[in-house]
Amino acid sequence: MTQPDTQPASADLDHQLELLHEQLRQREAQITQLERRQQIDARLTEAHPLDLGAARLLTEAAIQQMDEPDIDTAVADLRRDKPWLFRTNGTPHAFPFAPEADRLSEPDPADEAAAHAASTGNRRDLLTYLRLRRNRASP
């Protein structure tokens, strides 16, 4: 029985253990991020935003700047500072200045892209959504 053979195996196991711990920390961070996004979406849905994707981005940016993150405060501040992002009681869910025919037509690709970007969290999907939204607003 030689001692040198057990040291490399032990070092390999220690290295594998470190890798597993790092993967666990990454997964926990992802879960925390997804839970926060779900909480943000729930609070924003209660506030009735016209554009959930834009409201989410602004809320997440505000939360990142807080010393102690508070979703309710961030949503309330966003609603106070940017009221045009939210519908009022008498306003239909679509943009109030959109023609009635536009509201009754097929789903908007930008809305579908927003939902897809929200579900994946992928930066490329977000850019696709923002590009579609910009092109929709352009004459």
CA distance 81 to 60: 15
Percentage above 90 pLDDT, the chain: 40
What stretches of the chain show up as alpha helix (H) in DSSP?
Answer: 6-47, 52-65, 71-81, 100-104, 109-120, 123-137
d(CA 117, CA 130): 10
pTM of the model: 0.53
Decide if pLDDT at 95 tops 60: no
Q: What is the mean pLDDT of the chain?
A: 82
15, 20, 21, 23: CA torsion to nearest 10: 130
Confidence at residue 89, expressed as pLDDT on a 0 to 100 scale:
61
Average pLDDT over residues 67-92: 84
The residue count of the chain comes to 139
